[in-house]
Amino acid sequence: MIVFSIETSCDETSVCILNDKKEILSHIIHSQTEHIQFGGVVPEIASRAHLQILQKISKKALKDAGILISNIDIFCATCGPGLIGGLLVGSIFAKSLAIGLNKPFVPINHLEGHLLSVTFNNAVKFPFISFLLTGGHTQIYLIRDINNYELLGETLDDAVGEAFDKVAKLLGFSYPGGPEIELFAQHGNKNKYEFTEPLIKQKNLNFSFSGLKTAVSQIVKKNKILNQKIKNDISASFENIVVEILKNKLSMVAESMIKKNIIFNEVSIVGGVAANKQIYNGMSNIAKKYKKNIILPPQYMFSDNAAMIGWACIQKSLIKDFSNINFIANPRMTLGENAK
Ligand code: KG4
Ligand code: ZN
């Protein structure tokens, strides 16, 4: 089974050709740089850029893979959640190829792509826990099986990646801010600024990050000149509170699974924020306490990419036929919406 997959839900234009033997025949990720000057993604610019880039990289992907388009068995694309312009460009492009070649088209949920990315490089036993940490989502799932995802908690306001990006903007860093905050934090004092942990009194698995951003903006206002030391200390203190929040949530998940008698071995961290080493180290310490393993996808599947979309398509297609040429991209697509 050879799959051609497309990801265009935000500001990465990506195509991948892979097969059910876990062989990636070609994979191209183009991160749009047009948005840097605006400090965030501009949806209209993103969809126009997807349109232009997709044609070029699709041809190149076939060339890199050394196959003809007629060798593709299934076409798939991210159909949501995400920015509607990009979703329409990617899904209609894939559908057109599928129609022209008389092959199936499988709509894929972007979150499902992230959630299943860890099954590519890890021997995962169901059920497992997943922390989905991206620029648009912060959610905790109990993954019972492919197509069976139970949402345990999520952010009530900003996503964790969004909080990194907003704090980075306040410190004058470029977009996306997560990697720069991590870099500055290495030289800072994580105990310099004390942030209160949001929702500390609520014993559930939800998150809130918008208050932290406001707390940082007040520190920034107080310090008229942001020198290197202040930037380092704010970065380290902010990163530290995020690590603490995630550690506490992981402890709470582990305790609640014990109460519910649900046995699991792995905790995955997926999405762009999974690249953060302090988050990985902090969560690993908690996982060890409960005798669980922290698992990550391959590094090229942390941020948005078409390989995870194609891999989700393969896993689903091996179970049953999820093709649906009539599926219309949905910016608020829910997990399971593409089930027939
Ligand atoms: O999964 P992703 O590529 O896109 C979405 O689906 O949103 O995640 C992008 C997010 C951005 O907010 C970026 O700042 C964050 O991931 N990120 C990081 C790091 N690398 C990327 N956040 C913290 N530490 C990092 N090293
Ligand atoms: Zn994503």
Q: What is the pLDDT of residues 43-86, one digit of tens each?
A: 999 999 999 999 999 999 999 999 999 999 999 999 999 999 99
What is the best residue among 303, 304, 305 to mutate for testing ligand 1's pocket, by most ligand atoms within 8 Å of CB? Answer: 303
Query: Is residue 28 within 8 Å of 321, Cβ to Cβ?
Result: no
- Work out the average pLDDT over 1-11: 97
pLDDT score of 340: 61
pLDDT score of 36: 80
- Work out the average pLDDT over 194-214: 89
| Cβ of 177 below 6 Å from ligand 1 | yes
How many angstroms does the Cα of residue 273 sit away from the middle of ligand 1? 4
- Work out the average pLDDT over 278-303: 98
Query: pLDDT band for position 331 (50/70/90)?
Result: very high
Residues paired with 145 in a beta bridge:
148
pLDDT score of 199: 78
How many angstroms does the Cα of residue 304 sit away from the middle of ligand 2? 5
Exposed / middle / buried, residue 310 (Cβ in 10 Å: 0-12, 13-18, 19+): buried
Structure-block tokens of residue 75 = 């076409």
pLDDT score of 6: 98
Query: pLDDT band for position 96 (50/70/90)?
Result: very high
How many angstroms does the Cα of residue 303 sit away from the middle of ligand 2? 6
- Work out the average pLDDT over 124-140: 96
CA–CA gap between residue 11 and residue 332 (Å, rounded): 17
Structure-block tokens of residue 340 = 């027939």
* pLDDT at residue 34 tops 90: no
What is the best residue among 132, 154, 164, 305 to mutate for testing ligand 1's pocket, by most ligand atoms within 8 Å of CB? Answer: 164
CA–CA gap between residue 185 and residue 155 (Å, rounded): 24
157 contacts: CB under 8 Å, gap ≥ 6: 208, 209, 210
Q: In the chain, what are the helix, strand and coil shares in percent, each to the nearest 5?
A: 45, 20, 35
* pLDDT at residue 202 tops 90: no
Q: What is the pLDDT of residues 142-171, one digit of tens each?
A: 999 999 999 999 999 999 999 999 999 999
- Work out the average pLDDT over 14-38: 94
| Cβ of 176 below 6 Å from ligand 1 | yes
Query: Is residue 274 within 8 Å of 302, Cβ to Cβ?
Result: yes
- CA-nearest residue for atom 7, ligand 1, is 135
pLDDT score of 176: 86
259 contacts: CB under 8 Å, gap ≥ 6: none
CA–CA gap between residue 21 and residue 35 (Å, rounded): 36
How would you classify the pairing of strands 293-295 and 2-7? unpaired
Query: Is residue 322 within 8 Å of 316, Cβ to Cβ?
Result: yes
How many angstroms does the Cα of residue 286 sit away from the middle of ligand 2? 25
* pLDDT at residue 117 tops 90: yes
- CA-nearest residue for atom 14, ligand 1, is 178
Mean pLDDT of the chain: 95
CA–CA gap between residue 271 and residue 31 (Å, rounded): 15
* pLDDT at residue 116 tops 70: yes
pLDDT score of 159: 97
* pLDDT at residue 329 tops 80: yes
pLDDT score of 81: 96
| Cβ of 81 below 6 Å from ligand 1 | no
- Work out the average pLDDT over 240-246: 97
- Work out the average pLDDT over 245-251: 97
pLDDT score of 50: 95
Residue by residue, DSSP assigns 304-327 as: S-HHHHHHHHHHHHHHS----TTP
pLDDT score of 339: 72
CA–CA gap between residue 45 and residue 24 (Å, rounded): 30
- Expressed in angstroms, the distance from the first to the final Cα of the chain is 21
Query: Is residue 140 within 8 Å of 129, Cβ to Cβ?
Result: yes
* pLDDT at residue 201 tops 90: no
